Structure 1
């Protein structure tokens, strides 16, 4: 069996594996985002309730006075006790109120947990300052103080990951003098999210592998297996058909036994039928070979009829090619020493065809050709294209070539400007001539004539504009 760079079975397996991996990746991201968002929303609700409850219990004007005077009041002490109790009751990481000044974190009131008090720790003094906070963290707290809503951010400290909610403290006059912050540990949240995502990845991977296995087995039975069998039979058929000594009886496709009831089975039947049709076709070709040879001979004879253009009755392109070969030979044998070629191209033929129909376009071609033949009556005229004519100038026409060209231009200018005529009778041509020079080929002379005609056409266009 031939070795392929990309066997279809391997491509399907790799494609399935990539698809499964991609789906697992997407599902993992979706699971992480959805579950973590849900968990953070729960923490937001919990911290919002705590901060709103605390701010409702405290006299913010009294607390503002304590900050300004640097002295604790009775209400401040009650606020301290409230924070100490709530930090244990709600299992908070930390519960505190602060403000920022001169790149320092200034304490207003910070909770002390029961565990800390058992170790002999005391409540942090009012207006106690700390320069241990980095500048970017101080900016976050300063921004939170200026807001009118609760801010949230996540921190990674020496005690672990913490999620912080900050509510601005505002007295009755609208002064923002600090923030109330509640920290909660999210180490468990990260672990829960990671475990949940891992579970989803394993589940997705397992389901994907199961799906991929079922898909590959199904494809092997219904697609790739039958295709491989069909490809093997097709290669055997191709080897037999390449035999130089072909025998139509050998052109038989050995169709494999395929019962998939799908497009592969239909393809196998179609190839088998195609091989039968090919066999019949080859047999017909062999039988018709002699007939074809006869037809080719007849076609060669009919080519002679193509020497005359059916519309204008002047020489055709084939006739010109033959005349050019003869002329080339006569020049080589010194039988002809001088001649010229006039290249004539009809103007406006496409406009006539598009505007007035091809019948009038034919009238335009025939009329223009008649004028050319009348002027160059001693030279052969050939129609070599739809709107192109060539005249081989010899003898008296060659001697009077400049006068004949001028006559041609004047005559066609007269017909073009005669507005009493029908549009398809106002003939217009561009003409260019070239003379034979020693060493020239007929083709070289024709090219110079064509270039001269093209220059004449450009001049005519410029004259019209």
Structure 2
């Protein structure tokens, strides 16, 4: 099968049209469900509100015909008065006229811990008067106990409603006739004493049947709307999205196959068919065309710059060598030619790595030049520099197998390595003997009589936790030697 560009049409594992269909279907179902649910709730509440208004009118109209004192007397004597008969006839008419499930006046009672309901009167249909009806049960009359027709758990609530309620209350109940929406109000004397509980109920069968019809209509409407909406959306997506995207994809695939292993940048142009959708897809097509042109120009520039890059690489090699030379100069002391404090810090980093690897065979030697300030003050800094250089030569000569650093104006450090580590005591003695001999040579100038204090420390496991601990002990040993030399001169 060929597409519009004449290329074989691809098959996709999860095509866009299928996903669009799924999204539209889910959206339609959710939308119809929400609209149906809202409509159902609004319809049900509206119908129940209308039922409440009808029952309220019926109960209020009936209450206007009731003489509480006459009802009380009839209840106590169990005899029907003329007003009683008139009220009974009226309730029969109300029952017939409004198609009520029931309308009755009863008297809930409490006897000890038990509850019951006594019949006063109820409205009857013509069929019920003639002995017919929907249920096979005797018609209750004045004074009959009818509590057995109610669930036992309802009787306490009916009694509480009778005794303490002043307003019409509504409740949905399940009776032998089916589900009923019941309204009830307590009939009271002028002094507030309750006489009876007037109840009237309307069958919910009409609402339930209407709700069923409504749900059927909503279901049919959902199916129709879904079919129309999904069909429209798929046609629109195919024309406005899927076909333009297929054209862009085919052009991109062709561009990829032509540019593979291509050395001629002039063929690196994407041949996109013109799109006139006026939306983001048209903008995407134009952007891809522009991108391919820019890519072609960019590749040309890269090829032209290849030689320049190679030259830069050569320059980089030269620069790297120069940088290494500058780095060496940065860690070299200008006066003595040995490494300075920065060089010592790098040596410490190296020792720290060896320390972590368990290589702990090293030591630190601290050397401090004496009288440097005095020489500078009395003979000038040039003579002081000579004294520093002389001490540097001495330290480098004695500790020939260890790196030596000048870490301060008059301070030197040697990191003991190799043979120097094994003969440290001999080297210390040699250093002190040389210092003593030079210091006592009267043929030398004062700045040539090198005087310095020396101290050292070897790494000791259990005593030293880091390189700093070894340095600190060497520094302390050097200062102890300085004190000894001062005490000897005094």
TM-score normalised according to structure 1 size: 0.66
Return the offset for 1:58: 0.7
Query: 2:106 aligned with 1:98, yes or no?
Result: yes
Query: 1:29-80: per-residue Cα shift (whole Å, max 9, x none)?
Result: 1111111111111111111111001111111122133334444333222222
Match of 2:149, SS?
A: coil
User: Are 1:10 and 2:14 an aligned pair?
Assistant: no
Q: 1:275 aligns with which of 281, 284, 292?
A: 292
Tell me the distance in 1 between the aligned counterparts of 2:203 and 2:222. Answer: 30
Picking from 244, 251, 263, the partner of 2:268 is 251
Verify the 8 A CA contact 2:171 2:181 in the aligned structure 1: yes
Mapped partners of 1:100, 1:57: distance in 2:
21
* Aligned equivalent of 2:71: 63
Residue in 2 aligned with 1:314?
331
| Aligned counterparts of 2:207 and 2:275: Cα–Cα separation in 1 | 57
Q: Aligned partners of 2:294 and 2:414: how far apart in 1?
A: 53
Size of the aligned set, in residue pairs, is 360
CA contact (8 A) 1:66 1:72 kept: yes
Gaps spanning 5+ residues in structure 1: where?
332-336, 343-374, 383-390, 401-432, 438-446, 454-465
Deviates more, 1:75-84 or 1:109-118: 75-84
Normalising by structure 2, we get a TM-score of 0.63
Tell me what 1:262 maps to.
Answer: 279
SS at match of 2:184: strand
Match of 1:24 in 2: 32
What is the CA deviation profile of residues 378-405 of structure 1, one whole-angstrom value per residue up to 9, with x for unaligned ones?
84699xxxxxxxx99468x9989xxxxx
Q: Identify unmatched segments of 5+ residues in structure 2.
A: 1-8, 333-338, 355-359, 366-391, 397-402, 408-412, 426-455, 472-490
Counterpart Cα distance in 2 of 1:16 and 1:392: 82
* CA RMSD after TM alignment: 4.2
Give yes or no for contact 1:434–1:448 (8 Å, CA) kept in 2: no
Q: For residue 221 of structure 2, what is the aligned residue in structure 1?
A: 203
Q: Is 1:114 matched up with 2:126?
A: yes
Q: Which residue of 1 aligns with 2:81?
A: 73
Alpha-carbon distance between aligned partners in 2 of 1:245 and 1:380, rounded to the nearest angstrom:
60
CA 1:448–1:202: 2 relative to 1, 3 Å: farther
Once the two structures are TM-superposed, the CA of residue 259 in structure 1 deviates from its matched residue by 1.5
Measure the CA separation in 2 of the matches of 1:24 and 1:452. 83
1:129 aligned counterpart, secondary structure: coil
| Counterpart position of 1:191 | 209
CA displacement at 1:134 relative to structure 2? 1.1
| Counterpart selection for 1:47 from 33, 55, 60 | 55
Determine whether 1:168 maps to 2:186: yes
2:243 equivalent to 1:225: yes
- Alpha-carbon contact 1:144-1:150 (below 8 Å) kept: no
Query: For the Cα contact (< 8 Å) 1:95–1:110, is it kept in 2?
Result: yes
Please say if residues 115 and 156 of structure 2, whose CA atoms lie closer than 8 Å, have aligned partners that are also in contact.
Answer: no
Q: Highest CA radius of gyration, 1 or 2?
A: 2
Q: What does residue range 340-379 of structure 1 map to in structure 2 within 5 Å?
A: 379=404
Work out the CA distance in 2 between the residues paired with 1:246 and 1:157.
91
How far is the alpha carbon of 1:255 from its aligned partner?
Answer: 0.9
Local SS of the residue matching 1:178: strand
For the 8 Å contact 2:102–2:201, the answer to whether it is kept is yes
Instruction: Report the secondary structure of 1:156's partner residue.
Output: strand
Q: CA deviation at 1:274?
A: 0.7
Q: Is the 8 A contact 1:434 1:449 kept in 2?
A: no
